[in-house]
Structure 1
Amino acid sequence: MDERPSPEAARAVAEEEADVGVAASHADLSGLEATPFRIDRLVLVAPRGHPLARRERIAFAEALGSEFVGLSGDVALGGHLDGHAARAGGRLRTRVRVRGLDAACRMVALGAGIAVVPEVMAQRSGDAEALAFVPLVDSWAERRLVVIVRRRDALSSHARRLAEHLAGAA
């Protein structure tokens, strides 16, 4: 198992570095078989007392003036957000960086800043009562994830079972 941004995951499967991958459908999936996996909605997570916590929804660019709990460089979502911040004409003001989404939610609950995480991760956070989840209105904040393989019929039995399990979990 290796976490990579969607374009790199698709490339790894296409170039036979990986048998099975999960990628956002916006990646170049040419020549790959793709099976729907799930919708991954990104939300802004803020401590309950933060001014943005009262918003019903927000554009990512509007949050760029706040201090963020960022994700370390090897976490795919961190690079994804950095790219969208740059395209919006800004950058993330990162107060602290953590390696995982659970840690990001814990740091937000402690008041270290705000973060953008998948909605399902925010809801599973043990600190959910201390957090406010604000949907992002940006079109890129709703990602359609797919399970990708080169050819399902050419997979080993273990890889085929993994791909089928992931697709069945959709």
Structure 2
Amino acid sequence: MHDVINEQVQELVRHRRVELGIGFEPDNIDGLDFHPLYMDRFVAVVPADSSLAQLPQVSWAQLLAEDFVALQRPSAVRLLMEQNVAARHGKLAVAFESHQLTTIGRMVASGLGVSAVPALCINQMQELGARCVTLVEPTVERRIGVIALSEHKLSTAAQALLEVLLSNTRIPEVTCVT
């Protein structure tokens, strides 16, 4: 879902329907400027009653020992995860797939498995009843930022908004065991 939204944001900017968009760093930046806000790291998502929920951090090896719930392909989030994990842990063995992060959060909270999501989803996962834990070995991350047209002068309002975003954005809290 994030990929569809990210592509829609890029298209809205490219077609001048909006001046600015916020999303993951585009793979194809042609005609766009990307102003980084922060690096978003993936976190482990586990059931509240899992022994993993009590740990300060979880390795991919620990996470992948459980049934894994993932976004369906061709999700950029899924592909990023697979690319970063494959070198150390081989092919991602997926027990369940969904095209919605909300469904993944509900499945994990219900005890059907574990998952990994960008840290910007921490609040959503916790509201659904899952727990988030710092994920390591390897750390998987992707930049979040503001997308604008290259060589296009922003309106005064859009320029002011960009400056506020660049100077006031805080990195989401990655350590999130509750």
Same fold by TM-score greater than 0.5: yes
Change in Cα spacing, 1:166 to 1:49, as seen in structure 2 (3 Å) is farther
1:165 Cα deviation from its structure 2 partner: 6.4
Alignment of 1:125-140 (within 5 A): 125=125, 126-128=127-129, 131-138=130-137, 140=139
Q: How do 1:74-113 residues align onto structure 2 when only pairs under 5 Å count?
A: 74-113=74-113
Say whether the 8 Å CA contact 2:85–2:138 is kept in structure 1.
no
Partner of 2:24: 23
TM-score, scaled to structure 2: 0.66
One-letter amino acid of the counterpart of residue 66, structure 1: E
- Backbone CA RMSD of aligned residues: 3.9
Q: Measured at CA, do residues 92 and 167 of structure 1 come closer, stay the same or move farther in structure 2, by a change above 3 Å?
A: farther
Q: Distance in 1 between matches of 2:141 and 2:149?
A: 25
TM-score normalised per structure 1: 0.69
CA gap 1:34/1:65 in 2 versus in 1, 3 angstroms = same
Give yes or no for the alignment of 1:57 onto 2:57: yes
After superposition, what is the alpha-carbon deviation per residue over 1:138-169, rounded to whole angstroms, capped at 9, x for unaligned? 464343322234515267x7xx959x569738
Deviation at 1:45, TM superposition (A): 0.6
Identify unmatched segments of 5+ residues in structure 2: 170-178
* CA distance in 1: counterparts of 2:133 and 2:30, whole angstroms: 34
Shift of 1:66: 1.6
Q: Distance in 2 between matches of 1:167 and 1:88?
A: 40
Q: Does structure 2 retain, via aligned residues, the 8 Å contact 1:64–1:85?
A: no
* Residues 1:147 and 2:146 aligned together: yes
Distance in structure 2 (CA, Å) of the matches to 1:58 and 1:48: 14
Instruction: Name the count of aligned residue pairs.
Output: 159
Report the Cα distance in structure 1 between the residues aligned to 2:106 and 2:148, rounded to whole angstroms: 35
Tell me the secondary structure at the aligned position of residue 120 of structure 2: helix
Q: Equivalents in 2 of 1:153, 1:106: separation in Å?
A: 42
Aligned structure 1 segments of 4 or more residues deviating by more than 4 angstroms: 16-21, 27-32, 164-167
Decide whether the 8 Å contact of 1:68 with 1:94 is kept in 2.
yes
> What letter corresponds to residue 52 of structure 1 in structure 2?
L
Deviation at 1:29, TM superposition (A): 5.7
SS at match of 2:89: coil
Q: Which stretches in structure 1 are left out of the alignment for 5+ residues? A: none
Q: Percent identity?
A: 26
Give 2:112's aligned amino acid: A
Q: Retained in 2: the 8 A contact 1:102–1:121? A: no
**C-alpha spacing 1:76/1:147, structure 2 compared with 1 (3 Å):** same
